[in-house]
Amino acid sequence: MRIVLGDLPLLFKALKDPTRLILLRLLMFNDEDKLKVIDLAEKIGISQPAITQHIKILKELNLIKLNKEHNRIFYYVDKTRYKSYQKALNSILEISSMKCNFDGKCDECPNNLRNKPK
């Protein structure tokens, strides 16, 4: 799964909120995949509508998926997508720490990537 550079500002925005980081961690290390909004709200200590809003933002990035069983909805982290974002962030950090021998005119330069046709 490939991450589009345009997704990264949304990822940064989503992850800047400490509650969403806690939510992601709870879902990431939940082996049962059986957490509902009410469970998450109780564990984190915020309202169900607030949890729903945080889930919505993480779902927009496809980080959180849902599993419907009868009339219940359980949430879990899409670990494949999570690892793709992790890999993309690691690549950005690696590229940003390398000396550029092309004066910013190579394919890895953010200025050139931004101007490439889609």
- Over residues 32-60, the pLDDT tens digits come to 768 999 999 999 999 999 999 999 999 99
**Local confidence band at 10 (pLDDT 50, 70, 90 cut-offs):** confident
Taking 60 as the threshold, does the pLDDT of residue 115 lie above it?
A: no
For the entire predicted model, the pTM comes to 0.74
**Local confidence band at 108 (pLDDT 50, 70, 90 cut-offs):** low
For the chain, percent of residues with pLDDT exceeding 90: 50
- Over residues 78-102, the pLDDT tens digits come to 999 999 888 888 887 887 777 767 6
Most confident of 3-17, 28-42, 47-61, 98-112: 47-61
* Domains, in order of start, for the chain: 7-115 (1.10.10.10)
Structure token digits, residue 13: 């925005």
- In sequence order, what DSSP letters do the residues of 28-63 get, joined into one string? HT-TT--B-HHHHHHHHTS-HHHHHHHHHHHHHTT-
